[in-house]
Amino acid sequence: PVAEAIRHLPVEAVARLAAGESTAVMVGGHDVTLLPAWVEILRHPGEGLALLEQGGMAVAVDTRLTAPLVAEGWVRELVHRLQGLRKESGLSPTDRIHVDYWADSGLAEAVATHAEMVRVETLTTALDFTTNPDLLTTEWELDGQKFRVSIRPAG
């Protein structure tokens, strides 16, 4: 009965025990005082959470991937690949570029949503979606979605 009562302690009572204070728990109709030395508090993060404890503090972070986070991740990967393509093309890291691209719908939507990030991170003066992907020179795939692109110096 005591173990069951401890498992169902309110958060406030657990916080008191964690702070080194005693707390009362009802067991079989009787108040029982729990001393911090009698219990071990174990923290288990729930599904989709990561837990970091340090110096008596704990922080839980939601690790689930939402659609907006996935889209931002795709765009960050595209920025990385565009920078590599810039280098392969013999362009300087400071050269402004023009980007023509085509992408599957989910990826195209992500680029449209984060177009400003792409422009700023890659020094792109024009980021143009084309409906004719056959004119584009480089093809990449991200999570099963195709992305075709050509870059040239802006001018």
96: phi then psi, degrees, rounded to nearest 5: -80, 145
Single-letter amino acid, residue 50: A
Q: Give Cα separations from 29 to 22, 26, 62, 104, 138 (angstroms).
A: 19, 6, 39, 65, 74
Contact 122, 79 (CB under 8 A): yes
Tokens of residue 8, six digits: 């169902």
| Residue-averaged pLDDT of the chain | 92
How would DSSP label each residue in 58-114? EEEEE-PPPHHHHHHHHHHHHHHHHHHHHHHTT--TT--EEEEEEE-HHHHHHHHHT
Predicted local distance difference test score (pLDDT) of residue 57: 78
The Cα angle at residue 70 between residues 69 and 74, in degrees rounded to 5: 115
Q: Which of 87, 82, 77 is nearest to 107 (CA)?
A: 77
Place of tokens 């409906």: 131
3-state secondary structure of 2: helix
Model confidence at 29, in pLDDT bands (50, 70, 90)? confident
**Per-residue pLDDT tens digits for 46-92:** 889 998 888 877 888 999 999 999 999 999 999 999 999 999 999 99
Q: Which of 128, 106, 103 is nearest to 115 (CA)?
A: 128
Percent of the chain exceeding pLDDT 90 equals: 64
Cα 80 to Cα 76: distance, rounded to the nearest angstrom? 6
pTM of this structure:
0.69
**Per-residue pLDDT tens digits for 5-16:** 888 888 889 888
Averaged pLDDT for residues 133-152: 95
Averaged pLDDT for residues 97-114: 97
**Per-residue pLDDT tens digits for 35-54:** 999 888 877 788 899 988 88
Q: In this model, does residue 28 exceed pLDDT 80?
A: yes
Predicted local distance difference test score (pLDDT) of residue 145: 96
